A and B are shown apart, each in its own frame.
Chain A
């Protein structure tokens, strides 16, 4: 135990080990944070959700912080609604049960790039007579543009860029740039804009609520993908998934390998022979192809893939390395002493043989984590990622299949890639340092 403590103390001498530990701990914190703030069911709902969950977000929007690095500033997205008071709504009753509603929203626009889209979502309460809505647009230079007048259904969506009448009125194919430009010069006009909505209701008890969704060019701290999903969800949730997959696969593989090697060496004879033959057969089996086949034919569930990965990774070269060391340990004096006092085979294997291997096990275990983390990402890139869970690999696959590299959506690839890279390098550095501490033969070299 003291030896272990000393080893840990020595760990802090290596800067790479310290960095590795920091990365690992940060990942754990992020993973816990992700699981607490976005519970599993909620994460799945958000990740699998379509337009109905994510209608407020723009598509393919880089994160908002890129404005810090660009000379052109991209407009940020927002959404406001009357139901929570972010748009103030005034209702004035009129004659014979009619009433009028008025709402306005004022916002600053000091960006250099036009937004993607503006959408209004109306919900109306009425029994027979449809309420009537008219919308106006006030520009910083004091122009007042009539946008549209329309009778609304109980649920009505109005997309400004799709309105053909508005296109003719603005004499432009692109509604959004036209609304944000000076009509004389055609240049973008910065300043305070205002959206005015007035509604007429013709029944008592009738009511209108409106939500104004502004799809800018950037969104949040992580950006969005092709289905408007906020990438922060898979980026956060990728951490626990990657950690779980990497650690379970690595722990399962190394511990099982070691136990099987110990049992084989101790009992010898046909048991040992069998293990050696299985290892040779396993060498012939195409590892990645088998995982791809399981993913294609059987199940893409991360747990099935995890199980197959562990099974295929047990009988590899490392079982031979463990065997070689066990062969030496088997002959040592204390094992002989144990045998002499009549310890059972089980006791010798699990209490005397295996604990001796911990120094060999731990560095190998930590170093193997990146392999498995990247394996999950690799399978996802081949389109065999878990269909339900949000993972970093899935983001890369989505980005890749949507041509993010060709179309210049670099943030989309870089965010998960950098996280994967940090995770991989963190564990690799820690593993290297541990290896040098536990296997002093390498330390001088």
Chain B
């Protein structure tokens, strides 16, 4: 999660004197930026729609499935076995046509894909093809909303903990460069090559399999405790292993990255200068080291927040956690294009919004940066 990007977006550049009025410059920049991001979202979502259809390949699969299902259901219905074969054949044809119409398969993909696109862009997420929410709804919005809390809880807790603990520890380490803990973190940073679900398997093996003190998976016992306090404790117990796996998998690399990053900034000449002036170490840290690193830290934090939305597909699958990542995986297995597209469009919008807002935040926190400056 902690991707350190040293350079802010290429469209933000260092201030140079210019005669244009600020308003004009900013509005021109905003228009251009919104246009570019808008086109990016449209193209990205359209590509996803086409991939989710595999260029029509999925339509063939679905048509065959419908034909099979309907032929079989009619053949199995005793009331219809008396019918003349002719009548039955036309009945089957009619039913297949009706079902294809219901799923929108009667319109060619080229047209349908644009309908998906315009619906997606206006956030009319529509109805799922095969999936239903646990409450029984076929609305994509409700399916996603039902799973959102689980993902937000797991990802939110683990990622926020990861972010704050690693920034805090990294700052500490950068002050004591070269001590035992610093060396330990450097030595342990390759452990982040291993993905969280992989640590998850070990965690399950140790804490659920051998010691039997924590559950194998799921989010709450069945039946769930009725008392809200017990319920919360029960969820916490189930969350411990997946959250710990998610944190562990990025922990050391994240600290290492921030630490290196702080060290690079603390070897700047102006920091040496400030130290030479005799400023207290706390002031040097706040005003000369942390301040210039703020844009990067904010960028990382913003992308972390977006990451909450996508969930962790495989970790959720391994821990049977009922989150969005697993829902998306199920949706793919059920050829449920509206759910796939719904999840993608929300992610795309969140990304575009964040990228757009970040430019302004850079200008706010770094006086050298000017929005749309050229």
Tell whether A pairs with B: yes
Binding site for B on A (CB under 8 A): 16, 276-277, 280-286, 288-290, 292-294, 296-298, 317, 320, 324, 367, 370-371, 374, 377-378, 381-382, 396, 400, 405-406, 408, 410, 413-414, 417, 420-421, 424-425, 427-429, 431-432, 441-442, 444-445
* A314 to B: closest C-beta gap in Å: 15
- B residues near A284, Cβ cutoff 8 Å: 40-41, 43-45, 48, 344, 347-348, 351-352
* B204 to A: closest C-beta gap in Å: 5
Instruction: State in angstroms the CA–CA spacing of A16 and B259 once bound together.
Output: 20
Instruction: State in angstroms the CA–CA spacing of A217 and B210 once bound together.
Output: 20
Given A378-B197, A417-B202, are A290 and B40 neighbors across the interface (CB < 8 Å)?
no
Other 14 A-B pairs with CB < 8 A, given A400-B318, A424-B193: A16-B187, A16-B190, A276-B10, A286-B344, A289-B48, A297-B54, A297-B58, A320-B10, A381-B318, A405-B209, A420-B194, A424-B194, A425-B194, A442-B260
Q: Is the CB of A428 within 8 A of B190?
A: yes
Partner of A281, one of B10, B40, B344: B40
Closest to B347 in A: A286
Binding site for A on B (CB under 8 A): 3, 5, 7, 10, 36-37, 39-41, 43-45, 47-48, 51-52, 54, 57-58, 61, 177, 187, 189-195, 197-198, 201-202, 204-205, 208-210, 216, 259-260, 263-264, 267, 310, 313-314, 317-318, 328-329, 332-333, 335, 340, 343-344, 347-348, 351-352
Closest to B352 in A: A284
* A387 to B: closest C-beta gap in Å: 16
- B residues near A381, Cβ cutoff 8 Å: 197, 314, 317-318
Tally A-B pairs: CB < 8 A.
142
Q: Is the CB of A371 within 8 A of B344?
A: no
* A15 to B: closest C-beta gap in Å: 9
Q: Is the CB of A285 within 8 A of B190?
A: no
* B37 to A: closest C-beta gap in Å: 8
- B residues near A405, Cβ cutoff 8 Å: 201, 204-205, 208-209, 216
Main secondary structure of the interface of A (DSSP, over half): helix
Q: Is the CB of A293 within 8 A of B187?
A: no
Partner of B194, one of A320, A370, A406, A442: A370
Q: Is the CB of B194 within 8 A of A421?
A: yes
Q: Is the CB of A293 within 8 A of B340?
A: yes
Q: Is the CB of A292 within 8 A of B332?
A: yes
Instruction: State in angstroms the CA–CA spacing of A410 and B210 once bound together.
Output: 9
Instruction: State in angstroms the CA–CA spacing of A283 and B329 once bound together.
Output: 19
Q: Is the CB of A297 within 8 A of B61?
A: yes
Given A382-B314, A425-B190, A442-B260, are A413 and B205 neighbors across the interface (CB < 8 Å)?
yes
- A residues near B317, Cβ cutoff 8 Å: 381-382
Closest to A429 in B: B190
- B residues near A410, Cβ cutoff 8 Å: 205, 209-210
Q: Is the CB of B190 within 8 A of A288?
A: no
Q: Is the CB of B195 within 8 A of A293?
A: no
Closest to B11 in A: A276
Main secondary structure of the interface of B (DSSP, over half): helix
Given A370-B194, A417-B202, are A441 and B335 neighbors across the interface (CB < 8 Å)?
no
Given A280-B40, A410-B205, are A296 and B332 neighbors across the interface (CB < 8 Å)?
yes
Instruction: State in angstroms the CA–CA spacing of A425 and B7 once bound together.
Output: 29
Instruction: State in angstroms the CA–CA spacing of A284 and B45 once bound together.
Output: 8
Q: Is the CB of B47 within 8 A of A298?
A: no
Partner of A421, one of B189, B198, B344: B198
Closest to B262 in A: A445
Partner of B201, one of A276, A320, A396: A396
- A residues near B41, Cβ cutoff 8 Å: 284
- B residues near A286, Cβ cutoff 8 Å: 48, 310, 328, 343-344, 347
Q: Is the CB of A285 within 8 A of B195?
A: no
- A residues near B54, Cβ cutoff 8 Å: 293-294, 297-298
Instruction: State in angstroms the CA–CA spacing of A297 and B5 once bound together.
Output: 35
Q: Is the CB of A293 within 8 A of B205?
A: no
Closest to A367 in B: B193
- A residues near B3, Cβ cutoff 8 Å: 317
Given A413-B205, A414-B205, are A281 and B193 neighbors across the interface (CB < 8 Å)?
no
Closest to B186 in A: A432
Closest to A289 in B: B328
- A residues near B263, Cβ cutoff 8 Å: 445
- A residues near B190, Cβ cutoff 8 Å: 16, 425, 428-429, 431-432
Q: Which 5 A-B pairs have the closest CB atoms?
A: A284-B44, A428-B190, A428-B193, A370-B193, A445-B263
Partner of A374, one of B7, B177, B193: B193
Closest to B40 in A: A280
- A residues near B348, Cβ cutoff 8 Å: 284
Q: Is the CB of A289 within 8 A of B344?
A: yes
Q: Is the CB of B332 within 8 A of A293?
A: yes
Q: Is the CB of A374 within 8 A of B198?
A: yes
Q: Is the CB of B193 within 8 A of A292?
A: no
- B residues near A417, Cβ cutoff 8 Å: 198, 201-202
Instruction: State in angstroms the CA–CA spacing of A279 and B189 once bound together.
Output: 28
Instruction: State in angstroms the CA–CA spacing of A410 and B352 once bound together.
Output: 45
- B residues near A428, Cβ cutoff 8 Å: 190-193
Partner of A413, one of B201, B267, B310, B314: B201
Q: Is the CB of A281 within 8 A of B44?
A: yes
Q: Is the CB of B57 within 8 A of A297?
A: yes
Q: Is the CB of B52 within 8 A of A293?
A: yes
- B residues near A441, Cβ cutoff 8 Å: 264
Instruction: State in angstroms the CA–CA spacing of A378 and B318 once bound together.
Output: 10
Instruction: State in angstroms the CA–CA spacing of A281 and B38 once bound together.
Output: 10
* B157 to A: closest C-beta gap in Å: 22
6 A-B pairs, CB-CB below 8 angstroms?
A277-B39, A283-B44, A293-B51, A410-B205, A421-B198, A432-B190
Closest to B43 in A: A281
- A residues near B333, Cβ cutoff 8 Å: 296
Closest to A324 in B: B7
* B255 to A: closest C-beta gap in Å: 13
Q: Is the CB of B57 within 8 A of A298?
A: yes
- A residues near B48, Cβ cutoff 8 Å: 284-286, 289-290
Closest to B349 in A: A284
Instruction: State in angstroms the CA–CA spacing of A406 and B7 once bound together.
Output: 48
